[in-house]
Amino acid sequence: MDVIAHAEDDFIHSEGLVKGSMTLIESERAVTLYRAMGSAVEMSGGSAANTMCGIASFGGRAAYIGKVADDELGAVFAHDLRAVGVTFRPGLPEGEMRTGRCLILVSPDAQRTMNTYLGMSSWLHPGDLDTDTIADAHVTYLEGYLFDRPEAKDAFRVAARTAHDAGRMVSLTLSDSFCVERHRDDFLGLVEDDVDVLFGNADELRALYRVTSFDAAIEQVRRHCHLAAITNGKEGSVIVTREEVIPIPAEPVGRVVDTTGAGDLYAAGFLHGLTSGRSLKQCGRLGSIAAAEVISHVGPRPLVELHRLVDF
C-alpha cells in the first residue's frame, strides 16, 4: 500500500532523505516517519502490482502473486487488484509482519521520495508460488525490489524455471539502482540465466554494468539479453535487441504531477503490446502512453481505461 503525502523540500532534507530515491526502512522507522509526515492518502501500489493493473486497464489478462498480512491494508490491496480484474494469488500470511507499505513524499516539483517498509511482501518464498498460473502466463514478470532475502531469490528462480519449462517468457524489472548495487552479482546471474525481457531505467542499467555512460550500458545489455526496454525519464526509452536499438519518444504530458509508477506503467504497456502481437516500436509507444497517463495525477495506477488512449 502507498501512503502518499505532499512534502516541501525542507521536510525531505530535515528527515535526511534524498529526493527521488527509494529507501528501505524497518518497522520502527516507518512509525516515526509516518508520525512526522503530513496528512496522507492511502492507495494501493507496489511496483509489479501497478504493472498488472496497467495491463488489465489495456484490456489484457494479468495475475499477481504476492504476500499481504491479514490486516485492513492487506484487504484493501486485495480488493483494489480484483476490482480492476487482476487475479490475485496471495501467498500465505505468516508471523507477525504487517502488510508492506511505502511512505511516499511528493515534492512541489512532482518528484517522489519513497520509503519502503516491505513487511510481509518480502517473505515471498517458493511455496507461495502458484505454478499453474505461472505456466499459463505468456510472461512471468519479476520485481527486483523483492530480490533480497534468500527465500525470495529462490522463489524468483523457481518461477523462472516453471515459466521456461512451460515454454513461456520471463521478464524482470531492476526496480532500483540501490537494489542492483546490493545484489549485483545475483542480478547479473539472473539476467544471464533466466531473463528474456529486461526492464529498468538508465541509472539501474549503469549500476548493473558498473559503467558511467548510458551508451556503454546499452552495449552491455545488448550482448547479455534477448530484449531490453530501458526508460530514461523525459528522453523517453530505448528498446534494445541483438540486432537493433529503437529509440521511443516520451508522450507529451500537460503537467507532471507525481512521477510514482512511471516505470511500472511503461512496463505494463510494453508487456501488453508484446503479448498481443504488437511490433517492438508499438510496444514502446504503449509503454510511453501508460507512463504519461500515470504521471499526470497523484497515485501509481491509471485513472482512465488505458485502452481508450490507444489510437493505433
Nearer to a second copy, 7 or 191 (CB): 7
Nearer to a second copy, 43 or 152 (CB): 43
In the complex, what is the shortest distance from the CB of residue 41 to a second copy, in angstroms, rounded to a whole number?
Answer: 5
Nearer to a second copy, 40 or 310 (CB): 40
In the complex, what is the shortest distance from the CB of residue 42 to a second copy, in angstroms, rounded to a whole number?
Answer: 4
In the complex, what is the shortest distance from the CB of residue 103 to a second copy, in angstroms, rounded to a whole number?
Answer: 11
Nearer to a second copy, 38 or 247 (CB): 38
Residue 274 Cα distances to 178, 205, 228, 245, 251, angstroms: 28, 21, 12, 17, 19
In the complex, what is the shortest distance from the CB of residue 311 to a second copy, in angstroms, rounded to a whole number?
Answer: 22
Nearer to a second copy, 47 or 282 (CB): 47
State the residues that interact with a second copy by CB under 8 A.
5-6, 34-35, 37-44, 53, 71-73, 76, 79-80, 83-84, 299, 301, 303
In the complex, what is the shortest distance from the CB of residue 66 to a second copy, in angstroms, rounded to a whole number?
Answer: 16
